[in-house]
Chain A
Amino acid sequence: MTVATETTTGAVPSPSEEDVIVVNKMNKWYGNFHVLQDIDLTVRKGERIVICGPSGSGKSTLIRTLNRLETYQSGEITVNDILLGDDIKNIEAVRRDVCMVFQHFNLFPHMTVLENLTLAPIWVRKMPKKEAKDLAMHYLERVRIAEQALKFPGQLSGGQQQRVAIARSLCMQPKIMLFDEPTSALDPEMVKEVLDVMVELAKEGMTMLCVTHEMGFAKEVADRVIFMDAGQIVEMAGPQEFFDNPKSDRTKLFLSQILSH
């Protein structure tokens, strides 16, 4: 699957020098199973990182620790200089700036699209209803779905639902966005419409961490590509080097498997 380029002209801006996420020697266990081992990762503001790897390699778990959907047992994660630990105040502060887009969208089925979008701005940002609605309509237009504002999620296609989910995150005006296999649950013909929206976001300088197998997307927008296997970061490099000249055998094997068809 390749990313179409009609909507994606223009260069990808370079990230700044400022570090927004610092992961230091982070370890996580599920019982005795060591899911994440000594993870070290620094993400700069405006940087776009694609994380790939075989299933069960811990890549989803890694990005889920970054907004505390998963806990970790040792090491340290700081986001915007806030230490992400057990402190609920810190957790909520981090989550206000870090939004997640899920594989299965996780829209709220009992609310209209518009209500899905205005919920967090109204309750978390304490925004007046009118203003939240304007903001929501603005982002719905950006993901090209404004005409569906009053429908319920169940009435939309998968691609439309995922675009709504992206707009819902954008309404929180996050500094960092995490994408957890955003196109894996979609029918093939809907993948492009979602990737187009993500590419646009990348070009606007959003800091993004994206778990995906869409290698076209990685080549086009990523500043760095990370390959994970068995809970470890095996390889981390710029896209050109990563795809043309991978160092580890595991990376080579993985790339040959997913790029062969």
Chain B
Amino acid sequence: MSENAKSPPLPTGTFMERAVTWSKKNLFDGWFNTILTLGSIAFILWLVPPLVEWGIVNATLAPSIESCKEATGACWGFVNANLRLILFGTYPFDEQWRPLLAMIILMGIICGSLGGVKYAGVRKWIIPMWVIGVPIICILMWGGIFGLTYVQNSYWGGLPLTLILSSIGVIFAFPFGLLLALGRQSNMPAIKTVSVVYIEVIRGVPLITVLFMASVMFPLFLPDGVTIDKLLRAQIGIILFTAAYLAEVFRGGLQAVPRGQFEAGDSLALSYWQSMRLIVLPQALRLVIPPTVNSFISMFKDTTLVVIIGLFDFLGTVKLALRSDPAWTKYYVEGYAFAAAIFFLICFSMAKYSAYLEKELRKGEQR
């Protein structure tokens, strides 16, 4: 510590010398840290080599059951052989380019929208992109026009289904959650009560119940002959459920904005909605980026629950592939590892983006 008196000393000596100094300071300062360091090294040595051996060295990618039986490591051949079933579910085999293209378009729109936060040039295209993109995705998925054969949405499945359910979920749950949060803070008793009851009831039941109700109970209340599509019901269930959670997240953000900000808006004669949109929400939403992304990640994973009402999301199609041929069934570890990797990749991207967004929005206005 005493060397820090004047200016920070520049590192001296050879690379090895500096490496030794660094380790002494960061890894072996004191007996407790030394034990932790040695323990961590032992744990890594115990875990990593067998994992690499199983997953890479002794693994096979060949899509045949024979090579899997010979291999002592992981059988990625299961994923390889069933890739299209896992990715696209029961969508007609010859038409699977359609969900693939739809998925690429959807990812493109999402990436474009996320980039729009930083680049004003992209920002003005966000709404046109969705307005044009969503119908194209619908046409690709359903077909029925432009010479595309009609595909009932009960055949949709896999990664496109998961992505569609969650991105449409985000798009609708976000504004609905915001309205609920504002409603809960409203001075009007009717609006306030409805919001509070809604949030508490929906938060109080598991998503699986909401989906089950949407799928089994809801049709009983509809008049004869009226049916609402199963996928649509699941989608609405997910939106209604996520909105209740988001509402509480947003409410936290609204409460964190000082009262003086509302008053400044009022005294400048801004209307309630102008104050909200221009002054309060930009500050409130920025504060709640981490828990909002938390909710989205959790919703993304919760879409796997649609399997209970007979829709095959991405995790569902992995199970489907495992059951499709009894020979493959014992390679479930590989199947689930693959699904986990894809889920992790997407969730981790969301987390990274949220960190980036926070940093980007904080620029230039440190207090």
Q: Which residues of A contact B (CB under 8 A)?
A: 67-69, 92, 95-96, 98-100, 102, 104, 106-110, 119-120, 123-124, 152-155, 168-169, 172, 178
Contacts and interface: CB of A to CB of B under 8 A. Distances in A.
Interface string B254-281: 0000101101101111110010001100
A178 B264 CA distance: 12
Contacts of A153: 365
B286 interface: yes
Contact of A95 (B269, B278, B282, B367): B269
Interface of chain B: mostly helix, strand, loop or mixed: helix
B167 interface: no
B283 A109 contact: yes
B366 interface: yes
A252 to B, nearest CB: 34
10 contacts: A68-B266, A95-B267, A102-B264, A104-B260, A109-B283, A119-B279, A124-B270, A152-B365, A154-B366, A172-B269
Interface string B180-200: 000000000000000000000
Interface of B: 258, 260-261, 263-264, 266-271, 274, 278-279, 282-283, 286, 364-367
Nearest to B272: A88
A119 B278 CA distance: 8
A106 B266 contact: no
Given A120-B268, A154-B366, A108 B263 contact: no
A117 to B, nearest CB: 10
A194 B189 CA distance: 43
B268 A124 contact: yes
Contact of A102 (B263, B270, B278, B286): B263
B265 to A, nearest CB: 8
A107 B279 CA distance: 10
Contacts of B269: 92, 95-96, 120, 124, 172
Contacts of A154: 365-367
Contacts of A67: 266-267
A168 B286 contact: no
- For A68, A69, A96, A169, the residue with the greatest tally of chain B CB atoms inside 10 Å of its CB is A69
A160 to B, nearest CB: 14
